[in-house]
Amino acid sequence: MSTITADEIRAIETRHPQIFQRPAYKRFWPVLLIAGTVLYLGYALWFFSLPQVLRESHWERLPLFLSQWISYDLQPEFRLDQPEITPKYPRFSALGEHPNPDWVIKNPDGTYTVQIDGDAKSVTFDKTRAAITANGVTVPIVLTGGKSVITGTVPDWVTVHDDEIVAKLGFVGEVRVTVDRVKVRKRFLGWANFVFDTRSPFFGKPYSEVISLIVSGPELKPGTSNLALAADNFWNNAQWQHGDVWTKLLQTIVMAFLGTLLGGIVAFPLAFFAARNITPSGVLSQVLKRFFDFMRSVDMLIWALFFTRAFGPGPLAGSAAIFFTEIGTLGKTYSEALENIDDKPREGVLSTGANEILVQRYGVLPEVVPVFISQTLYQWESNTRGATIIGAVGAGGIGLKLWEAMRTNSNWANVFYMVLLTLLVVFIFDNISNFLRRRLSRTLHDYNRLQAERG
Amino acid sequence: MSASSATLEIRGVTRRFGKNTAVSDINISIPRGQMVGIIGRSGAGKSTLLRMINRLVDPSQGSIFFDGTEVSSLQGSPLRRWQRDCAMIFQQFNLVPRLDVLTNVLLGRLNHRSTVSNLLGMFTRTECAEAVAALERLDIARTALQPAGTLSGGQQQRVAIARAMMQQPKVLLADEPIASLDPLNAKVVMDSLRDINLREGITVVTNLHTLDTARAYCSRIIGMAAGKVVFDGAPEDLDRDTVRTVYGADASGTEISEAITSTSVTVRPKITASAGPLEPAFPGY
Amino acid sequence: MTSATLHSDATRQQADAWRRQTSLRRFYTALGVGLLLVAMFATMWFADEANAGHFFDRLPHILDFLSWLVPKDWNDVWRALFDIASPSDKGTQEFNFPLGRVYIWGGFYIPEYFELMLTTVNVALVSTFIGFVFAVPFSFIAARNLTPSPTLRLVIKRFMELLRAFPEIVIAGLFAAIVSIGPVAAIIAIGLHSIGALGKLFYEINENIDMRPEEGLRAVGANWFERVRFADLPQVLPNFMSYTLLRIEINVRISTIMGAVGGGGIGEELKLAISRGFGAKTLALVLLLFITIFVVDQFSAWLRRKLVGEQAFLMSA
Ligand SMILES: Nc1ncnc2c1ncn2[C@@H]1O[C@H](COP(=O)(O)OP(=O)(O)OP(=O)(O)O)[C@@H](O)[C@H]1O
Ligand SMILES: [Mg+2]
């Protein structure tokens, strides 16, 4: 196609004014839409004072918190102002009551060496001097002048404060040196004492020994078998609280199940009275529909708060909240499904002279029950996820436990443990529900095909 | 560009789908400006051949050359530039039903412009005018603002041709362009293809199911059977026996009746290839 | 069926088979319902046992509990809603309505609860926007028929599944420690969740589109972005918008709950009012929340019906 001249363009434009002179709103609505969105976002930026929030935020904490999800640290402290240097561990450290880790070494010459990452990252000290080794350099520190002083150059991973020298050694930990003490933080990958806590007689024993004890060992606690003792120790692990966590998780599952099921049971008959094409009275239909809207709009949170106050915190309140919301949601979806059914089977049954109830039973139910079940399963699935959140306001289940574990900002490994369990549960229930719904739609498909074959 | 250089060369091209060989060892050379019809039974591999030329499907073996470049090995943006030069029209039109006709036609220009200005949908005044001119030539300018999905099949195919024209192609491939159209619309579409071929000198390669259409419009006919070329010559040389080899006699030995594969309608006079590109081909309004 | 036809053996056999099949199906149905009932009562018992207060112990006191909801003076509900001074105000938090006023300009103020409701709605809108903006490109990468790279597709798909299933309160809690407790943490949490939830719905829509326009544009020489923009987006956009509106409805609810656990907005105030037994404040908040959710739902339902017709109400996972 040869190029087009300006005259020809003008000729075409005059021939087709409707194409080239479209109303401005038609031509520019995408621009307007984008402009509107941008304006709104600007407003939101101001409304949430985002620049300020971001300026005051502590992003450096994020990697720290995330690393705490899958690791734990030990913090031995060495007092230098006592007659003899001895390591002290925090009271509930993961090492138990008699810690003697092999990475704290008392050298023959009286100095101590703490290996943070083997010998490559370590600190060696006595009462007069300390030497921090990392990244291929050794930083000598003199402690005699009433102050900790570095002799020589200060590498960038060491910060010198007034009375303290801090060496950050990356993920593996850090060393803090003052005149009268050396503090070490050493980080380990993994979860400490996940199976047995420090009070358990099985603590610190290798798995093979634990198993042989359980299978054929002498009773560690007279009167109980070792298996029962191990199970009890595991279940009541003070740090991980397996028993409590799993019970709470079960509560969350129960809340979603019970709430959805009861909601379905109540919504089922009501939907027939609310469906425009089935209801005996138009007024009743309207009233019921507004009732469904009401139950939905009052919102699960409000119900949860009310029932927590009425019954006290726990899964009963959560179930009741989901139950009330689901009456609304399921009632609405059921009645919409009923309004969308094909009228022919109903008329067919009606023409046999059956009474109203029988008409519903044989003309309507076979069509809508699979749809009802499928929608209920979908709600069940989404409530399993929702039950986690409302739990946090006191309605029982894992939510509250998660929230409390997070509040202290120190228990991220426990949080991650619960998150993993929750993910597992959501995953399993998603799949069960998907499987059932697929089965159901196949049944529905077969049913329709049979109907079609019969003509 | 010399006439002999813009030749489409297909050399030993084979395409297999699993164990099934759809196209096997095809050698064709199509000089610039020819209007070629490909005939053959369903499953003969006609569509596969065209789609390989446009590179919607890659050949399993062999290569395709155009103007001296091996287009069968292009990748990335040179490939897309070849696809621009080699417009394709489909039996099912393959328009974007929700977009209006004008935008659909303008989409033919995508590869001429920068991606960013494309994504923002900013087409220039000249491009719009050209699109309208193309629509005028195909007599559907009045539908320009309708969603393409609301048009009749014949109209949609003409929109597809207009889009192909906007690509400013060197080769136009048409895969059964009239198979889902009524005879009248089929004629309009075939006439436009011939018009393009004569006026712009664009090579047209079209798959056809109707023998007499092929005879009426094409200067060269290629017959395919079971993935192989079994006939390649002028329409006059296509006699009864060759038709039988192309289509194969069915089990009962019944003759292929040309009347069955016929679309002949005699209504409007044929358009003559003379008017400039900007004048409406069908000055009806 | 008349008795005459039963004389034929074949007919009788058929009838027997039918009856057997029916009774088998009845048996399975009964078994299913029975199991469901057992599970229901078992879980009811479990929920009751685990709860702080038990159902039958607390039932008689429900009315007591409801009675504090009824304010002594019904006008206090309006006063609480619009921050107008109440005659019952004795300096306690129960009736300190005017304290919450958010002055905009001179004597003109926004009542506290409206401001809080606005926060909650804004959290929902912004997080839905975040979800939409990321879910759309992700959905084109994650759709089997459109993906530019199968490996990338798998990565994005898994990532979205993770975002969808990850408990929102954990994300909120994590970011509360980083950007401080409040609405921004809630936006991040709900936004991330929305990416996963919308992304999944979107790519399922994408996998069901008509591929012919896509092929047509491929033949034009359009690149991936241009094909997505012109061949795919026009087909799916109405459905995308419909699901996004549905997501706004859901996110308003989630953002209320997030508020109650520290995400700012109306949820926090509601939790406080209920736990302290402030009848008038509770009623005012419930009323406001109820009306807002109702209006958002109805508006979104209306818009969705305009976009995609009755199809908008077919639920999909
Ligand atoms: N994408 C594909 N995957 C597998 N097999 C294919 C594919 N495309 C084509 N085929 C096979 O290749 C052979 C040739 O198909 P093709 O579409 O080229 O035939 P055709 O001549 O265009 O037939 P028709 O006239 O019916 O359109 C057929 O056997 C077909 O089944
Ligand atoms: Mg074909």
Q: Atom 31 in ligand 1: which residue has the minimum CA distance?
A: B43
Query: Distance (Å) from the C-alpha of residue B83 to the closest C-alpha of chain A?
Result: 17
Chains with 3 or more CB pairs closer than 8 angstroms to A?
B, C
In this predicted structure, what is the pLDDT of residue C31? 92
- Which range marks the domain in which residue B174 is found? 8-274
pLDDT above 90 covers a percentage of chain B that reads 23
What is the widest separation between alpha-carbon atoms in chain B?
Answer: 61
Residue A218 forms part of a structural domain:
no
Phi, psi of A31 (to 5 degrees): -60, -45
Contacts of B80 in chain C (CB under 8 A): 221-223
In this predicted structure, what is the pLDDT of residue B255? 52
> What ipTM was estimated for this complex?
0.82
Ligand 1 atom closest to Cα of B46? 21
Per-residue pLDDT at C311 exceeds 80? no
Chains with 3 or more CB pairs closer than 8 angstroms to C?
A, B
Q: Atom 24 in ligand 1: which residue has the minimum CA distance?
A: B42
Q: Which residues line ligand 1 (CB under 6 A)?
A: B 17, 20, 22, 40, 42-48
CATH code, domain with B78: 3.40.50.300
- Strand order, beta sheet including B228-233: B86-89, B171-175, B203-207, B35-40, B220-225, B228-233
Q: What is the 3-state secondary structure (H, E, C) of chain C?
A: CCHHHHHCHHHHHHHHHHHHHHHHHHHHHHHHHHHHHHHHHHHHHHHHHHCCCCHHHHHHHHHHHHHCCCCCCCHHHHHHHHCCCCCCCCCCHHHCHHHHCEEEECCEEECHHHHHHHHHHHHHHHHHHHHHHHHHHHHHHHCCCCCCCHHHHHHHHHHHHHHHHCCHHHHHHHHHHHHCCCHHHHHHHHHHHHHHHHHHHHHHHHHCCCCHHHHHHHHHCCCHHHHHHHHHHHHHHHHHHHHHHHHHHHHHHHHHHHHHHHHCCHHHHHHHHHHHCCHHHHHHHHHHHHHHHHHHHHHHHHHHHHHHHHHHHCCCC
The 10s digit of each residue's pLDDT in B182-229 is: 888 888 889 989 988 998 889 999 998 888 888 889 999 999 888 889
Identify the nearest ligand to the CA of B43 by its number: 1
Q: Atom 28 in ligand 1: which residue has the minimum CA distance?
A: B43
Query: Distance (Å) from the C-alpha of residue C200 to the closest C-alpha of chain B?
Result: 24
Report the SS3 class of residue A408: coil
Residue C297 near chain A (CB below 8 Å): yes
The total domain count for chain A is: 3
Same domain for A393 and A337: yes
Among A174, A189, A204, identify where a domain stops.
A189
The region of weakest confidence among A51-65, C80-94, C119-133 is: C80-94
The Cα B43–Cα B224 span in angstroms is 10
Asked whether the beta carbons of B196 and B202 are under 8 A apart, the reply is yes
Residue A142 forms part of a structural domain:
yes
The region of weakest confidence among A54-58, B132-136, C260-264, C293-297 is: C260-264
Per-residue pLDDT at C279 exceeds 60? yes
Q: Atom 25 in ligand 1: which residue has the minimum CA distance?
A: B42
Query: Distance (Å) from the C-alpha of residue B123 to the closest C-alpha of chain C?
Result: 13
The angle subtended at Cα A120 by Cα A88 and Cα A186, nearest 5°, is 30
Residue B1 forms part of a structural domain:
no
* Distance, CA of A110 to chain centre: 49
- Average pLDDT, integer, range C77-96: 78
CB pairs < 8 Å spanning B and C:
81
Residue C221 near chain B (CB below 8 Å): yes
Average pLDDT, rounded, for chain B: 81
- Average pLDDT, integer, range C31-54: 88
Residue B281 forms part of a structural domain:
no
Report the SS3 class of residue B203: strand
Residue B40 forms part of a structural domain:
yes
Per-residue pLDDT at C280 exceeds 90? no
| Cβ separation C220–B110 shorter than 8 A | yes
Q: For A228, what's the count of Cα atoms within 13 Å in the CB-facing half-sphere?
A: 6
Per-residue pLDDT at B75 exceeds 60? yes
The Cα A59–Cα A55 span in angstroms is 10
CA-nearest of C249, C260, C248 to C285 is C260
Which of C210, C218, C234 lies closest to B56 in CB terms? C218
Q: Which residue of A2, A16, A20, A22 is the best one to mutate when testing the B interface, meaning the one whose CB has the most B CBs within 10 A? A: A16
In this predicted structure, what is the pLDDT of residue A452? 61
| Cβ separation B54–C234 shorter than 8 A | no
For the four alpha carbons of C271, C277, C281 and C285, in that order, the dihedral sign comes to positive
Residue C234 near chain A (CB below 8 Å): no
The 10s digit of each residue's pLDDT in B127-155 is: 888 899 889 888 888 888 888 888 888 88
Residue A112 forms part of a structural domain:
yes
In this predicted structure, what is the pLDDT of residue C198? 92
Same domain for A417 and A327: yes
Residue A276 forms part of a structural domain:
yes
- Which range marks the domain in which residue A111 is found? 73-189
Residue C274 near chain A (CB below 8 Å): yes
Mutation pick for ligand 1 pocket among B39, B46, B92, B208 (CB with most ligand atoms within 8 Å): B46
Contacts of A340 in chain C (CB under 8 A): 310
The 10s digit of each residue's pLDDT in B240-263 is: 878 888 887 654 445 555 544 544
Same domain for A78 and A42: no
| Cβ separation A12–B136 shorter than 8 A | yes
Residue A86 forms part of a structural domain:
yes
Residue C40 near chain A (CB below 8 Å): yes
Asked whether the beta carbons of C142 and C160 are under 8 A apart, the reply is yes
Residue A202 forms part of a structural domain:
no
Which of B88, B96, B98 lies closest to C219 in CB terms? B88
The Cα A350–Cα A51 span in angstroms is 67
Relative orientation angle of helices C279-308 and C266-276, to the nearest 10 degrees? 140
Asked whether the beta carbons of A263 and A436 are under 8 A apart, the reply is no
- Average pLDDT, integer, range B109-125: 84
Same domain for A154 and A21: no
Highest-confidence range of A192-206, C52-66, C141-155, C267-281, by mean pLDDT? C141-155
Q: Atom 17 in ligand 1: which residue has the minimum CA distance?
A: B47
The stretches in chain A having pLDDT less than 50 are 1, 455
| Cβ separation A12–B134 shorter than 8 A | no
pLDDT above 90 covers a percentage of chain C that reads 28
Per-residue pLDDT at B279 exceeds 60? no
Cβ within 8 Å of residue A142, ≥6 positions away:
A128, A129, A148, A149, A150, A151
B280 confidence band (pLDDT: 50, 70, 90): very low
CATH code, C112-313: 1.10.3720.10
Contacts of C231 in chain B (CB under 8 A): 96
The Cα C107–Cα C109 span in angstroms is 6
The total domain count for chain B is: 1
Q: Atom 30 in ligand 1: which residue has the minimum CA distance?
A: B43
Asked whether the beta carbons of B223 and B39 are under 8 A apart, the reply is yes
Same domain for A156 and A85: yes
| Cβ separation B108–C218 shorter than 8 A | no
Total residue count of chain C as it appears in this document: 317
Cβ within 8 Å of residue C292, ≥6 positions away:
C117, C120, C121, C252
Ligand 1 atom closest to Cα of B176? 27
DSSP tag of A313: S
Residue B245 forms part of a structural domain:
yes
Residue A380 forms part of a structural domain:
yes
The 10s digit of each residue's pLDDT in C128-152 is: 999 999 999 999 999 998 998 999 9
Query: Distance (Å) from the C-alpha of residue C127 to the closest C-alpha of chain B?
Result: 25
